[in-house]
């Protein structure tokens, strides 16, 4: 991971926008029309308030797979939307489509990524809340051409059918094994309980995680 950091493109200039200020800014136009703006929204937004101009987007930086991305987001933009469906401010697609949009409501785990090494449903996290954190997607698990042991084990055990759930399971399993290198079967089941496979490949998935654990 450290090597990747060193070879990553030069980091963009750091700016930080708090969720509080960003969300506050969204309502600026409405508030300005109704009440004294500087009292309610603060001096920093007074200029926008006086012109009635609402802040509807902001440019933020996200550290994804040890590479900095500068993206423009709306308050409602999820981390998953940035990964799958956004371009950076230079017009280059982020194009990290490993995390899948399936339920879009925090139930299936198909969109699982890690944020500061903790598994997170990317469909349930606002992009602005991911600022300043290390985001890792399934694309960031391999080291160059060397797959992560969990990825190797999924191939070895043919632990997929349609494959839609697979990236989420792999990210969750890698996260589990980072915390617990010798999990029991029950611990594996518990660790992956936030992920759902509609094709019912669970026995193969659990076997794959046990195999990966032995190799790590």
- Which residues of this protein are in contact with ligand FES, per CB under 6 A? 101-104, 106-111, 121, 123, 160-165, 197-199, 201
Closest approach, Cβ 113 to ligand FES, in A, equals 10
Report yes or no: 209 and 183 within 8 Å, Cβ to Cβ: yes
CA distances from 128 to 21, 42, 46, 57, 60 (A): 11, 20, 22, 10, 7
User: Is there a contact between 49 and 31 (Cβ–Cβ < 8 Å)?
Assistant: yes
Cα separation values, 127 from 50, 139, 152, Å: 28, 18, 30
Residue with Cβ nearer ligand FES (61 or 211): 211
Q: Which is nearer to ligand FES, 103 or 147 (CB)?
A: 103
Cβ 105 to ligand FES, closest distance in Å?
7
Using DSSP's 3-state secondary structure scheme, residue 124 falls into helix
Please report how close the Cβ of residue 116 comes to ligand FES at its closest, in angstroms. 18
65 or 81, CB closer to ligand FES? 81
Decide whether 48 or 85 has the Cβ nearer to ligand FES. Answer: 85
Minimum Å distance from CB 86 to ligand FES?
16
- Residues 215, 153: contact at Cβ < 8 Å? yes
**Between 58 and 82, CB nearer to ligand FES:** 82
Contact 192, 176 (CB under 8 A): yes
Neighbours of 140 (CB within 10 A): 21
| Smallest distance from ligand FES to CB 73, Å | 18
Nearer to ligand FES, 22 or 121 (CB): 121
- Which residues, at least 6 apart from 195, have a Cβ–Cβ distance to it below 8 Å? 108, 109, 110, 112, 165, 168, 169, 172
What is the closest distance, in whole angstroms, from the C-beta atom of residue 154 to ligand FES in the complex? 10
């Amino acid at each position: 991971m450290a090597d990747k950091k060193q070879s990553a493109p030069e980091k963009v200039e750091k700016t930080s926008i708090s969720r509080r200020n960003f969300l506050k800014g969204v309502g600026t136009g409405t508030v300005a029309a109704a009440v004294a703006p500087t009292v309610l929204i603060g001096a920093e937004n007074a200029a926008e308030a006086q012109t009635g101009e609402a802040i509807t987007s902001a440019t933020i930086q996200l550290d994804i797979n040890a590479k900095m991305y500068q993206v423009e987001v709306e308050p409602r933009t999820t981390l998953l939307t940035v990964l799958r469906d956004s371009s950076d401010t230079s017009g280059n697609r982020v194009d990290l489509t490993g995390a899948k949009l399936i339920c879009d409501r925090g139930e299936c785990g198909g969109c699982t990524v890690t944020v500061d090494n903790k598994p997170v449903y990317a469909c349930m996290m606002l992009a602005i809340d991911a600022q300043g954190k290390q985001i890792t997607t399934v694309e960031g698990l391999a080291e160059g051409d060397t797959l992560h042991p969990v990825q190797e084990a999924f191939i070895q055990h043919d632990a997929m059918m349609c494959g839609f759930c697979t990236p989420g399971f792999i990210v969750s399993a890698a996260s589990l094994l980072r915390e617990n290198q010798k999990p029991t079967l029950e611990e594996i089941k518990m660790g992956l309980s936030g992920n759902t496979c509609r094709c019912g490949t669970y026995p193969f998935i659990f076997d794959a995680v046990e195999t990966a654990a032995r190799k790590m």
